[in-house]
Each structure stands twice: as structure tokens, then as C-alpha cells.
Amino acid sequence: MDNSKRKPLQTIIITGTLGILIVIGGTAGFLAEQKKLLDRLEQKQACFLDLVEFRGRLIEFELSRKKTFRNSHAFSKQDKRSEKKAASLLFVYDKLLTDLKTAGLQPLPSLTESREGRVVISGLYLENFLSELNKAVEKSETETKKATGELVVINEFFLFFILIMLLTLSITAGWQLHRNYRRTLIPLAQLASQMKLLNRNIPESIHDTAEEIKKELTGTSHSSDITQITESIMEFFTEIEAKNKKLDEVNIRDEKTGLFNYRHFKEHLIIETERTKRQGNKVSLAMIDIDHFKEYNDRNGHVAGDQVLKTLAELITSQCRSSDMPSRFGGEEFAVLFPNTDSGTAREIAVRLRKAICAEPFENEEYQPSGQLTVSIGVATFPRDAGDWRALVENADRALYSAKSSGRNSVVTFASIEKEEPARNET
């Protein structure tokens, strides 16, 4: 090889080597910073979840203590139990304070006071403490979102950094790089084009972009350097996608029941009805409403009512199949979406659920008008009972109304209503 050819080639090799070293160094620095941000995000997420759990335990403790005061004949025995619960609660509280301090979050005010030589949880200041605790939960949630935002920003910066380096290498190398290092240039161009799309769509397109990169690089001959860079970026994609899934799970769940919320339910309802139109299948919907729930709430209080909602959510989930989608529709009303399910099968599941709820012992249910806590259920099926998802919800709701009108604690399908209406008209 003569000198005229050796010099440009040497320049390309030196430039390429330096560029790769910078990319590797930047990647290593990014991964270290990313790990630190991920650890901080996990700490704040854990604090947020612990605060929510502690708030629930504190409310349960206060409710239990009020019951103790009402049952004066068993006060002594119950008081000892209350002290044990308080000790357990204070232990969790002390650990929570430590975790808040570690995560850099604002500490909570004192939960205890001295009384007759003992340290007890003060009922006098519990309302104020709960107010501060709610603020701490909101603050923790805000800090979690802020940490997520910081993580997205550094990811964007890293992607821009990689893109600039790749473009710099491409310009410096020129046609010699394209001619002599085809195994490097083509994969770089493919990777750069995908990262341009990702920069415009973070974080929604992370999964799709990663799949496109895998597809385009599969079967393509490329250098070990490109393999290393691609694997680093793919690992980054995997970590970010996992974190996004955790955050999405928090956003799509109802806080009181743990079921899917209305927004997530509506999205899947629309998707399932459109899929059913294309494939010619059936999708059913059950609307569930607690009978005389307002009277139960008025008599027992909203804390007891929330416990009923939670128990019903567990019963609904236990009776559903893995493909079904139980959701909290709003208030005391639930909805269950049954993909690829006809009206008869959906009704069978609904009847089984109604019986399970009847058999469940609820606190103070004997004071309900029927002597127990029950539900009414309406079932409708697409496309037989409705032309679109809105009509499906409306007709399932009509069947639910019919179940309530006919005495409650029953399951009614929209198809049975249609059969009854012509009979009434004939008479």
C-alpha cells in the first residue's frame, strides 16, 4: 500500500478509534448516572407506596380504636390489642421516617405524645397528622414524577450525544469509510435513523423503536464496535421500558380497589369492539352496582364503605378469567369486560359472582333492607345488543336498571329485556 492510500486510511482509523472511545466513555458515564437516577427514582417510588400503605393502616387503626371505645365491656382486652397495634404502627412509622430521610423527602411531624408515662398515638392530633400525611403523599408523588422527568432528560441528552457522534464519524470518514468499512457505516446509519424517531417520541416510542432496531440489524454484518454500542442502547431501552411499565401500572389502577380505572377500561373497551368488528367475534360487558350502598355508607361511614368496595373488587377478580378485565366504573359501580365471550357465558360468570357476593359476610350487612349486602348486574353483548361501544355500555346499564327494578340481587341480560318488551306491547 503506497503513502497516498495509507494516510487517509490511518486518519480514518485514528478518528474512528477516538470516536468509539468517546462513545464508550460517554456510554459508561451515562450508565453510571442513569443507575444513580434509577436508584433515586426507586427510593422515591418506594416511599410513595409506603406512605400510601401507612395512611391506610393509620385509618384502620383509628377505626379500630373507635370501635374499642364503643364496646366498653371489652375495653380492657381491646385496649391491650390497640396498644400492640399502636406499637406495630410506630415501628413502621420510625422506619418510614428513615426511608424519607434517605430519599431526601420532607419528614413527617410527630405522631405520638406522652401520657401517664407512656408514649401513645394521639387521637387529638390524628386529623392534623393525616392532613400532613396526605400532603407528604402528594409531595412524594410529585418528587417521583420529577425524578422520572430527570431520567427522561438525561436519556434524551445521551441519545443526542450518540447521534452527534455517529454523524461526526460519518462526515469525517466520507466515501472512504463507506468503501472500506461497509460493515460499520450501514448499521450506524440504520441506528441513527431510528434514534431520530425516538428523540421525537420519548417515551411512547421506546418499545417500537427498539423492535425496529432489532429488525433492521438482524442478519446484517456489522463490526464488534457497533454490536457493543447497540447492546448498550438496547439495554437502556429495556430498563426505561420496565420503569415506564411500573409507572403506567400506578396510573391505570383505581387507588381504593386496585382494579383498572375508568379511563383504562374505556380504552380497552373501544379496542375490543373494533377488534370484534374485524374478526367477527363477540365481546360482552357486565355492569355491577351495589344495592342500597348509600344506606350502608350513611349507617357505617365511608371508611367501612371503602372496605366493602375493596372486598368486592377482590371477589370480582377471583371470579374473572385471566382474559377478562375487571374495572371500577365509578362510585359503587363496577364493570367487567369479557373479550371473545357470548352472552350466555358472560351471564354464567355474572351469576357465579352474584352468589359469591351474597355468601360473603360483610360487616353490619344485617341492617341492609334485604338483610345482606347484594349486587345487581346487567349484561350486554356486542354486536348482538349494540352497534358500538357506547351503545354496549348504555344497554348493559339498561339491563342493570331492569335488575334493580325487578327487586335487586339479580342478573339481567339485555337480550331478555328485548324479549319482554314485545310481549308487553302485545298485551
Which one-letter amino acid corresponds to residue 394?
A: E
Q: Residue 239 catalytic?
A: no
Total residues found in the chain within this entry: 427
Q: Which of 364, 353, 335 is nearest to 410 (CA)?
A: 353
Task: For residue 288, list its beta bridge partners.
Answer: 334, 377
Q: Contact at 8 Å (CB) between 183 and 221?
A: yes
Which residue bears the cell 327494578? Answer: 405
The CA-based dihedral angle spanning residues 4, 9, 12, 15, taken in that order and rounded to the nearest 10 degrees: -80
The C-alpha atoms of residue 426 and residue 377 are separated, in whole angstroms, by 27
**Cell representation of residue 173:** 470518514
**Cell representation of residue 189:** 446509519
Catalytic residue among 143, 150, 156, 332: 332
CA count, 13 A, side-chain hemisphere, 371: 1
Q: Contact at 8 Å (CB) between 120 and 86?
A: yes
Which residue bears the cell 335488575? Answer: 403
The C-alpha atoms of residue 63 and residue 283 are separated, in whole angstroms, by 42
**Cell representation of residue 380:** 350486554
Per DSSP, 24 falls in state H
The C-alpha atoms of residue 370 and residue 331 are separated, in whole angstroms, by 21
Q: Contact at 8 Å (CB) between 56 and 261?
A: no
The C-alpha atoms of residue 59 and residue 205 are separated, in whole angstroms, by 41
Helix/strand/coil percent split, the chain, to 5: 70, 10, 20
The C-alpha atoms of residue 20 and residue 168 are separated, in whole angstroms, by 11
**Cell representation of residue 41:** 427514582
**Cell representation of residue 112:** 405520638
The residues carrying an active-site annotation are: 332
